Amino acid sequence: MENRWMQNAVLKEMYGWELKSDNQPPAFADYFSKASIENILLYIVAYCAFVLEVLFDNVKAEIEDEISTKVPGSLQWYVKMLKGFMLDFDFDENTGEFITEGRTEAEINAAYVVKHAVALDDNANSVLLLKVAGENGGKLQPLKEDVAEKLKAYISRIKYAGVKIKLINQEGDTFNCTVKIWYDPLQSAATVKSACIKAIESYIKNLPFNGEYSNMALIDNLQTVPGVKVADFRNATYTENTVNRTTKSIDGKIRPYAGYFNIGKITLNMTAYE
């Protein structure tokens, strides 16, 4: 905008600047200070253009997100339908919606028991995986057995014919890890250790539903803890809370089978850095 301003012939005559030896106009800053009316005017125009661009990008993103949930049978459509399940509300099969007439806002909000959901294609077994979880006090937990049965009945009514579905609704996978921490000897080992445990718990709890855990990200979080000189990853395991409860080693990264982790045993070996 500044270049176009300085290249304008009418403005050149008005302000009286001369072209340089290479026949190019002078720099905008050579004639106008940051506090000048001209500079403020250009700033206002540029800022308005920026705001409009952000608004258009946001509207575009909202429209694309809305479209992705409107396409029947898509993965995002299944997620939307799962989160739209209403416990103990009558379901109108003609409209595909729950009947909320005569219900209070509090009753409606309480009926949305599926707080987290994800839909995944299991191409190897030709099945659609639907992972769900509820919440209690901000903590993720599986839906109660009777609620899960009603959810299954609801899914059987809305799903597309011929689609095999497996509902995953269970306690979070148990996460365990061992890390060696070299800490600043000027700080208390107990204080640094406590801060490291909180950092690990925060990282695990703040993973998005069915989000990917990685050993590298865990160490990156520990490296930001005050007093930690070196965080050396040793191992991490997880246990699926299924019938077999098999514990497996995490090789670099993993997505929890249940969609989320519960904190298990965290072992930190503290060594003073010298």
d(CA 69, CA 66): 5
Verify that 99 and 152 share a domain, yes or no.
yes
d(CA 241, CA 166): 16
Against a cut of 0.75, is the pTM above it? no
d(CA 147, CA 173): 21
d(CA 143, CA 73): 24
Verify that 160 and 224 share a domain, yes or no.
no
- Per the structure, the complete domain to which residue 137 belongs is given by 75-168
Verify that 199 and 236 share a domain, yes or no.
yes
The pLDDT tens digits of the residues spanning 173-198 come to 999 999 999 999 999 999 999 999 99
Of 147, 168, 189, the residue that ends a domain is: 168
Tokens describing residue 140: 């993720």
Verify that 197 and 218 share a domain, yes or no.
yes
The pLDDT tens digits of the residues spanning 28-44 come to 888 888 888 888 999 99
Q: 100 vs 59, which has greater pLDDT? A: 100
What is the number of domains present in the chain?
3
